């Protein structure tokens, strides 16, 4: 059990546990970013070149800045995780470890509920962060990456990282979630954020109009947010933008353009 790995009565134990988890979280960010970079920008570069969202070049040393901000973000996310562990060990969460307690059917349901809560929180937070004074205070860091890359996915000002890190600890206070579902969600968050910032549309032709894809955000959708600012505030799903009329009218034409372009094998 997790209590075997940390003693909250010992600062040395807390420091070691924090350091190890920082390494894990930052390593996860680096490895996922590297995988998507090499797969779509090196190994399959010719095949996906026509699916690049734009031909604009990134700023000099942009990736280095993104990695630095992402290291800080990873540390803040680590503190959030350590806080979640403290809450769990002190019996203040709805986390459970025995699948039979709620049944296998509940695992995907709890994941979906958590994602929907996260989506709503992030959407309204994101719109608030685009208020001029707030944007200039801290959200500008993320938008410094006009042409995004896998390295952009964790590139946030510390204030924004803190605001993003609050939601999962809040959710586990009342929503029963299995440890495995929580870890899967954290990995899913990293992968989807990387795909959304890849600046290459990897989903197949017709995806944006099928029963699932029309509600799922990809690179075409989120890249328009970085270039247009006033549209596409969602995290995983498009429905909040649809409901509140903030989805860019350029999204579907852009998706169709990128997925119907000729590719080189």
Bridge partner list, 91: none
Query: Which pLDDT band, with edges at 50, 70 and 90, does 265 fall under?
Result: very low
Residue 201 gets which letter from DSSP?
-
Instruction: Give me the percent of the chain exceeding a pLDDT of 70.
Output: 98
Reply yes or no on whether the pLDDT at 104 is more than 50. Answer: yes
Distance of CA 124 to the CA centre of its chain: 16
Confidence (pLDDT) at 1: 65
> What would you measure as the largest C-alpha separation in the chain, in angstroms?
61
For residue range 185-239, list pLDDT tens digits in order: 999 999 999 999 999 999 999 999 999 999 999 999 999 999 998 999 999 999 9
Confidence (pLDDT) at 145: 96
Confidence (pLDDT) at 4: 75
Name the pTM for this structure. 0.94
Q: DSSP letter string over 224-258?
A: HHHHHSSS---SSBSHHHHHTT-S-TTHHHHHHHH
Confidence (pLDDT) at 264: 44
216 φ, ψ (degrees, to nearest 5) = -110, 130
Q: Cα separation of 121 and 115, whole Å?
A: 10
Instruction: Give me the percent of the chain exceeding a pLDDT of 90.
Output: 94
> What's the rounded mean pLDDT across residues 67-88?
98
For residue range 3-41, list pLDDT tens digits in order: 777 889 999 999 999 999 999 999 999 999 999 999 999
Domain boundaries, the chain: 2-201
Confidence (pLDDT) at 5: 79
Look over the chain and give the mean of its residue pLDDT values, rounded to a whole number: 96
Q: Cα separation of 234 and 178, whole Å?
A: 25
Reply yes or no on whether the pLDDT at 176 is more than 80. Answer: yes
Residue 137: both structure tokens together: 């205070």
Q: Please count the residues of the chain.
A: 265
For residue range 177-195, list pLDDT tens digits in order: 999 999 999 999 999 999 9
Q: Cα separation of 26 and 58, whole Å?
A: 23
Q: 13 near 7, Cβ under 8 Å?
A: yes
């Amino acid at each position: 059990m997790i209590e075997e790995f940390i003693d909250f009565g010992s600062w040395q134990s807390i420091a070691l546990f924090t350091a190890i988890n920082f390494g894990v979280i930052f390593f996860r960010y680096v490895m996922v970013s590297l995988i998507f970079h090499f797969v779509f920008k090196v190994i399959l570069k010719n095949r996906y070149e026509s699916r690049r969202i734009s031909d604009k070049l990134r700023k000099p040393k942009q990736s280095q800045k993104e990695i630095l901000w992402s290291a800080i973000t990873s540390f803040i996310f680590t503190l959030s995780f350590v806080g979640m562990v403290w809450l769990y060990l002190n019996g203040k969460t709805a986390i459970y470890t025995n699948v039979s307690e709620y049944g296998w059917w509940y695992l995907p349901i709890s994941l979906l509920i958590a994602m929907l809560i996260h989506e709503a929180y992030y959407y309204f937070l994101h719109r608030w962060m685009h208020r001029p004074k707030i944007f200039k205070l801290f959200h500008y860091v993320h938008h410094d990456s006009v042409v995004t890359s896998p390295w952009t996915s964790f590139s946030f000002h510390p204030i924004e990282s803190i605001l993003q890190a609050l939601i999962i600890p809040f959710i586990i206070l009342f929503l029963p979630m299995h440890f495995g579902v929580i870890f899967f969600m954290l990995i899913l968050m990293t992968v989807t954020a990387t795909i959304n910032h890849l600046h290459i549309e990897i989903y197949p032709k017709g995806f944006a109009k099928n029963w699932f894809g029309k509600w799922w955000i990809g690179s075409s959708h989120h890249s328009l947010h970085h270039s247009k600012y006033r549209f596409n505030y969602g995290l995983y799903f498009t429905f909040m933008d649809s409901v509140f009329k903030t989805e860019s009218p350029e999204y579907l034409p852009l998706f169709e353009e990128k997925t119907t372009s000729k590719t080189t094998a």
